[in-house]
Amino acid sequence: MYPALDDTAEPQPWLTYPVGLRDTDHFLSPIDTARTLSTVSDSLAALLGHTRAVVLWTIAHRPGCTTTELARHAGISPASASQHATVLRTAGLTRTTRHHNTALHTTTPAGHSLLNHVS
């Protein structure tokens, strides 16, 4: 697996690489990682922080995702996904529903509104 580098990114360059989760069948490819990271607007990233903005965007585009799925699609660890989801839930931007021992994440109307109005 090869890392992805964007040395022209502002405000600073970034390097990312595929992360293997416990479910080793699923790796986030460098192309998918770069694509996910480039989906959020600069103003949304400035407001929430880049990773948290990616987490919010991922939840909005994959409603009902589990924390593990969220981590995989956002290119972060499950622990980090859980922490970011908690902050977004506390801010009223997402909702988490429990199904047995699984957390399912969706955006609230406020979360959708933020994504639609921040350009």
Packing angle, helices 67-74 and 50-61, rounded to 10 = 120
pLDDT of residue 69: 93
pLDDT of residue 21: 47
pLDDT of residue 9: 73
The CATH number of 4-117 is: 1.10.10.10
pLDDT of residue 33: 55
Q: How many CA atoms lie within 13 A of 31 on its CB side?
A: 0
pLDDT digits (tens, 9 = 90+) for 34-51: 555 566 777 887 788 889
Q: How far is CA 26 from CA 8, 19, 21, 29, 112, in A?
A: 29, 9, 7, 9, 28
> Where are the domains positioned within the chain?
4-117
pLDDT of residue 95: 96
Three-class SS of residue 92? coil
Residues of the chain with pLDDT under 70: 1-5, 15-39, 119
pLDDT of residue 115: 87
